[in-house]
Amino acid sequence: MRTHEDTIQRQFDPRAEAYLKSAVHAAGPDLQRAKALVAQAVPPPAQALDIGCGAGHLSFALAPLVASVTALDPSPSMLAVVSKAATAQGLGRIGPRQGNAESLPFADSSFSLVCTRYSAHHWTRLEEAVREIARVLAPGGHALIIDTLGQESALVDTFMQSIELLRDASHVRNRSRAEWRALCRSVGLLELEHAEWPLPLDFASWVERMRTPADRVAVIRSLQEGAPQEVRQALQIATDGSFTIRTGLFWLRKPD
């Protein structure tokens, strides 16, 4: 019987190059803000950890600002893409390593900066993963969490989670701003900054990036076309199926 980790590798291993080239992942105001925050607050000798690094865009952005970045991901193909791209960009400070967010293979207080971007909605045990982030973060260190956000409206959120799962079998759940804040407070991480940005998603490239089967694409379009007005307005669903969600950034600190 296939596990969730098997599903992740099955979904992402064949799509690693597509994620490296994805405009949604390669750029964005959240990435620019992440660089500014790290440059302002994290000393250059810092050891950084990028959890669920995917194709490595956050690692690439932060590597020039720190001593080293450990790029952690469960997908061997993603790690191979990160290694190749880092070499091509002359970013020798990036070291790929296979592993999972819920059980980080590192000692307590190993990193001055722990970050993750567009990965947490794939984690099956988010509470454990957040505890792991706090555990491996050194006292006085910073955590940076970036992910697409769940909706505060139960109606809109149920719809959004449904189409996300139809599109990508490895999807678990997008958490709302309130849920993220509660989780971070529960492990003692202090919120220093929160920001949000709209994230427009072109429907054709969104499903192509994950090679969503045609029958599931048809179900997603059917759901969109039959969605109530509240959902259509909240997600700005266009006639071609394109829609808009939100990216949330949480900048946090572990007390000394």
pLDDT tens readout for residues 173-197: 999 999 999 999 999 999 999 999 9
Query: Does 210 fall in a domain?
Result: no
Q: What is the pLDDT of residue 92?
A: 83
Q: Which domain CATH number covers 103? A: 3.40.50.150
Instruction: Say if CB 170 and CB 11 are below 8 A apart.
Output: yes
Count Cβ neighbours within 10 Å for each residue of 225-240 and write b for 16 or more, e otherwise: eebeeebbebbebeee
Q: Residue 101: is its pLDDT beyond 90?
A: yes
Query: Rounded to 5 degrees, what are φ and ψ at 247?
Result: -95, 135
Domain count, the chain: 1
* From 21-30, 47-56, 73-82, 162-171, the region with the lowest mean pLDDT: 21-30
Query: Does 42 fall in a domain?
Result: yes
What tens digit of pLDDT does each residue of 54-66 get?
A: 989 999 999 999 9
Q: Residue 254: is its pLDDT beyond 90?
A: yes
Q: What is the pLDDT of residue 3?
A: 74
Query: Which tokens go with 96?
Result: 């790929």
H helices of the chain, in order, are: 4-12, 16-21, 23-26, 29-41, 57-62, 76-88, 126-136, 154-167, 177-186, 203-209, 214-225, 229-235
Q: Which residue has the higher pLDDT, 130 or 80?
A: 130
Query: Does 240 fall in a domain?
Result: no
**Residue-range definition of the domain harbouring residue 44:** 4-151+170-200+246-253
Query: Does 216 fall in a domain?
Result: no
Q: Residue 24: is its pLDDT beyond 70?
A: no
Q: Residue 217: is its pLDDT beyond 80?
A: yes
Q: What is the pLDDT of residue 248?
A: 98
